[in-house]
């Protein structure tokens, strides 16, 4: 594994796999640079709200679907959190679609790009493929 500094010192000759432990850091830095270059602070904040609420929904969904029994969670707590997040997200998206639809378009396009790039990365990464295979076997045996 190469460090981020070693990779950049190679002038782009490293691969995504070389950055595996730091790939989210790389994504964050690149996204931050693009955002600050092209968007004002209110648009960046609006994107942050959308991404945060969707991330929060995904985490609660993961608790409901995969961890509820393991951590002895009451299913109503994450379910209510998902409902409230969806309520807040729906209201925010409605307002933004009427005032600044470009922000919602950028958010959707960015989420699609992230999802596609993660799928490509996971298919290319042998460790991830093995982990996914083991996880699917574990879920079928419960």
Complete DSSP assignment for 57-116: HHHHHHIIIIITTTTT--THHHHHHHHHHHHHHHHHHHHHHHH-HHHHHHHHHHHHHHHH
Q: Which residues of 97-111 are buried (b: 16+ CB within 10 A; e: fewer)?
A: eeeeeebbebbeebe
Distance between CA atoms of residues 110 and 102, nearest Å? 12
Average pLDDT, integer, range 129-134: 59
CB atoms within 10 A of CB 57: 19
Whether residue 16 has pLDDT greater than 80: no
Write down the pLDDT at residue 70: 76
Together in a domain, 34 and 57:
no
Write down the pLDDT at residue 30: 86
pLDDT tens for 34-86 read 889 989 999 999 999 999 999 999 999 998 888 777 777 788 888 999 999 99
Together in a domain, 15 and 48:
no
Write down the pLDDT at residue 122: 87
Together in a domain, 57 and 116:
yes
pLDDT tens for 27-36 read 788 888 988 9
Together in a domain, 60 and 121:
yes
Q: What's the number of domains the chain is made of?
A: 2
Q: Which of 2, 42, 45, 43 is nearest to 26 (CA)?
A: 2
* Whole-model pTM over 0.85: no
Domain that holds residue 122: 40-140
Together in a domain, 51 and 34:
no
Write down the pLDDT at residue 109: 94
Report the share of the chain in percent with pLDDT over 90: 42
């Amino acid at each position: 594994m190469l460090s981020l500094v070693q990779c950049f010192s190679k002038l782009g000759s490293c691969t995504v796999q070389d950055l595996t432990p730091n790939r989210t850091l790389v994504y964050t830095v690149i996204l931050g640079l693009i955002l600050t270059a092209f968007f004002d602070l209110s648009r960046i904040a609006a994107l942050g709200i959308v991404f945060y609420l969707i991330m929060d929904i995904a985490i609660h969904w993961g608790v409901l679907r995969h961890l509820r029994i393991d951590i002895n969670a009451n299913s109503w707590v994450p379910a209510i959190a998902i409902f409230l997040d969806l309520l807040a997200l729906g209201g925010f998206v409605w307002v933004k679609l009427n005032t600044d639809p470009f922000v919602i378009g950028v958010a959707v396009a960015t989420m699609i790009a992230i999802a596609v790039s993660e799928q490509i990365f996971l298919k290319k990464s042998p460790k991830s493929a093995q982990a996914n295979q083991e996880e699917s076997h574990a879920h079928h045996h419960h």
